[in-house]
Structure 1
Amino acid sequence: MGLLQGKTAIITGASSGIGAGIANELASEGANVVLAARRTEKLNELENEIKEQGSGNVLTVQTDVTSRQDVEELVKQAETTFNHVDIFVNNAGQMLSSQVLSGKVDEWEQMIDVNIKGVLFGINSILPSMLERSSGHIINIASVSGLEVTKVSTVYSATKFAVRAISTGLEKELAKTGVRVTNISPGMVDTSLVSGSSWNNERKKLETKDIAKAVIYAVTQPDYVNVNEITVRPV
């Protein structure tokens, strides 16, 4: 029996990369997984992969995290199907042109909408039921770019600093409620998000399973233990 047998987890940005890796790992530990992203074809592929492995029950919900209504519907469908949600992983993210000198305001807006507002919409949608049950775990996927800024990461770093600030403040707000918050800051991970960006370099990258293992570590601690912050970097 897996460590998360009978638990239910929602993962945003689950269609590829870190999100898909987290979903696979949670399912392998026995959790029911709710896969959320915009690309239904990719979600369906991942659903079939998880089912073929016999890992657990799967629900896919097409979701745009920049839409509050979409995120609320995601939570509603998850709770209708699995009764309650134990883990909510705010993973969906955008890494686009981030130099202020580039003047690419449209891309900045996309990052703000996905990386900040998307996280807040997820938290706002899941918190009432978690507080009612005095149980639940919110995982926010930030970045090492939320710890330091380079000359090409200004705007992206700002959004990930915001995720860390939200995680830190929320953990304090939820003290003694039974609801836990963990912020995970990955270094460079070998995903399409990185390979398609101008930040790509020759340094060995982390694998998605490395971040997924950090999620498993956080959510399998005893109820009285809250792992607030995990930073995962390549050597």
Structure 2
Amino acid sequence: MNGHTGRKIVLVTGASSGIGAATAERLAADGHHVVVGARRRERLDELVGRVSAAGGSAQAVDLDVTDSSGHRAVVDAVVAEHGRLDVLVANAGVMPLSRLDAGRVEEWRWMVDVNVLGLLHGIAAVLPHFTCRGAGHLVTMASIGAHEVPATSAVYSGTKFAAWAITEGLRVESPAGIRVTTICPGVTTSELADSITDPLAREAMVAYRANAIPASSIAAAVGFAVEQPAEVDVNEVIVRPAAQR
């Protein structure tokens, strides 16, 4: 492990699969204690088992990021147990793509609730603790969709533009001791596409995901940002397949 960091207490949301699970495994392998949160507790318990078997330190918590008071309660409990929270990896997200003229209003609302409000709930939960200590690190999992808007991605990209803007706003507002990072993955192996119910968007995604990179590639970017010395803030990292244009 990089000698600059020491052992950190890290909370990863949306940790039951994909990038969240890979990030938890990577950070645990780097020597940090990882608290993994999501709604699918059985997946989290399996993840904790894998981390423990590999010699790492992890614990599972039930967490729905759309529940503001629940998110705050989880963060407060972590701080009460460990004395601090050093890093929040706000990874939870959904991606039910569709064209706007498909009119899938409920899916739009779901994306806003998880991808935007879920991030804000995380910030609201950790910021008082970070501010009190004068230290902390928020890592937002945005998307290449924060930089481009393919057909079917208007709402999803909108939520990721918002995540990017909110995270950048937090960086600007925060004192020097609080670090803020946005990770923007390109096409990555995950379960995100499983939430697509629109048939046209689902079909298009098959070809789009042909050159997906593993979730561990994104986890490595998170690990890089977290391991930097306190005076270094990695603001944004875009990671995508070499074949993606």
Query: What is the TM-score of this pair, normalised by structure 1?
Result: 0.95
Question: Of 219, 231, 234, which aligns to 1:227?
Answer: 234
Contact 2:20 2:92 in 1 (8 A): yes
Give the whole-Å Cα distance in 1 for the aligned partners of 2:186 and 2:218.
9
Query: Counterpart of 2:93 in structure 1: which amino acid?
Result: G
Matched with 1:110 is 110
The Cα shift of 1:163 comes to: 0.4
Matched, 1:212 2:231: no
Query: Counterpart of 2:60 in structure 1: which amino acid?
Result: T
Contact 1:9 1:32 in 2 (8 A): yes
Quick check: 97-106 or 112-121, which moved more?
Answer: 97-106
Q: Paired residues, what number?
A: 233
Contact 1:194 1:200 in 2 (8 A): no
Matched with 1:69 is 69
Matched with 1:200 is 206
Contact 1:11 1:88 in 2 (8 A): yes
Query: Counterpart of 1:115 in structure 2: which amino acid?
Result: N
Give the whole-Å Cα distance in 2 for the aligned partners of 1:5 and 1:79.
17
SS at match of 1:200: helix
Give the whole-Å Cα distance in 1 for the aligned partners of 2:100 and 2:161.
16
The Cα shift of 1:2 comes to: 6.2
Give CA deviations for 1:131-188 in whole Å, capped at 9, x if unaligned.
1111110000000011000111011000000000011111100143x00100000001
Give CA deviations for 1:180-228 in whole Å, capped at 9, x if unaligned.
1000000010112135642232531111111111011111112111111
Give the whole-Å Cα distance in 1 for the aligned partners of 2:136 and 2:56.
22
Give the whole-Å Cα distance in 1 for the aligned partners of 2:50 and 2:135.
30
Give runs of aligned pairs for residues 83-122 of structure 1, distance below 5 A.
Answer: 83-122=83-122
- Alpha-carbon RMSD across the aligned residues, in angstroms, is 1.4
Contact 1:10 1:36 in 2 (8 A): yes
Give runs of aligned pairs for residues 33-182 of structure 1, distance below 5 A.
Answer: 33-56=34-57, 58-176=58-176, 178-182=177-181
Cα 1:71–1:118 change in 2 (3 A) is same
Give the whole-Å Cα distance in 1 for the aligned partners of 2:52 and 2:162.
36
Cα 1:195–1:204 change in 2 (3 A) is farther
Contact 1:17 1:192 in 2 (8 A): yes
Give CA deviations for 1:70-91 in whole Å, capped at 9, x if unaligned.
1011102211221111000000
Contact 2:94 2:195 in 1 (8 A): no
Identity %: 40
Contact 1:63 1:71 in 2 (8 A): yes
SS at match of 1:185: strand
Query: Counterpart of 1:22 in structure 2: which amino acid?
Result: T
Unaligned runs of 5+ in 1: none
Give the whole-Å Cα distance in 2 for the aligned partners of 1:16 and 1:10.
15
Quick check: 109-118 or 74-83, which moved more?
Answer: 74-83
SS at match of 1:84: coil
